Amino acid sequence: MKALILGAVMGCCVTAADAACPDVSLMQNAARGWIAGQRLPDPVVRNMDDANCAYTSFRSVLEAELGPPVGVKVGFTSQDVRDRFGVEEPISGALFGPMLLPNGSRLSLRGSRMPHYEADLVVTVGDPAIMHATTREEVAAALRDVRPFIELPDIAFSRGTVPTGPIMAAYGGAPWRGVLGDSIAISELENPVEDLGKLGVSLKNNGQTVAISRGDRLLGHPLDVVLWLVQQGHYDLKAGSIISLGAFAAFAPAVAGHRIEAEYNLAGRTMRASVTLIP
């Protein structure tokens, strides 16, 4: 696990030509405050170009404090979420090593402000040739493995701020923590494209099933999320980079004392991830 996190290399450059950027100091101070446990201010972004420009300033402080990104979170990959936030495309943001925890962790919610949980899916890049992929098959050939992921975003906006698509994008989708389950190598799947499309997911809270979903919830196919990310050209994916592909169901509040479990059926094999939430 530590090898994955420390060994992953990620470079990125977000461009937002002609965007009306929020004040750089506003976003940098917001990042420092977020790390210190404060809520995020309204960045006053009008559109996605503004949001991407704002995120560049926000992310620069995270990189200085948390180290280089180890991967990318892609959000809004389901149509119902895009409709709810009034956006046409997904959004993305950097993931940092300190955000990622091993399977079965006991996670203290101390320091969070409005944490939630959701079942997600992560793939690990095996070959930088993925940057030239144009088909699902080419994406699969450039991946190392797939693993379950329970993401815990922190919707930590200042009171009175109503999250919009651009506001969420300005803060990279608001990642906070995430628990990585045990992986299955892509090479072990007889037909990774077909298998990932038929992936089944069950999410439980204290033993009670709260959501059931399938792989096609993520942009129609999990590998299409990677294709979208590559086509955007905002991230330089290296061997070891991880990509969080999006939520399989609406997020729910994370509450201390609850145990969250996600179970995935992939080509007849079971993958699991779990986290126990504590004060």
Rg from Cα positions in the chain:
17
Average pLDDT across the chain, whole number: 92
Strand 105-108 versus strand 269-278 pairing type = parallel
> What CA–CA distance (Å, rounded) separates 119 from 201?
8
H helix or E strand, kind and range, residue 3: helix 2-7
Domain spans, the chain? 2-103+120-200+214-251
Specify the CATH number of the domain 2-103+120-200+214-251: 3.90.850.10
pLDDT tens for 220-273 read: 999 999 999 999 988 999 999 999 999 999 999 999 999 999 999 999 999 999
- In this model, does residue 1 exceed pLDDT 50? no
pLDDT tens for 162-206 read: 999 999 999 999 999 999 999 999 999 999 999 999 999 999 999
First to last CA, the chain: 25
Q: 244 — phi, psi (to 5°)?
A: -85, 120
pLDDT bin (cut points 50, 70, 90) of residue 211 is very high
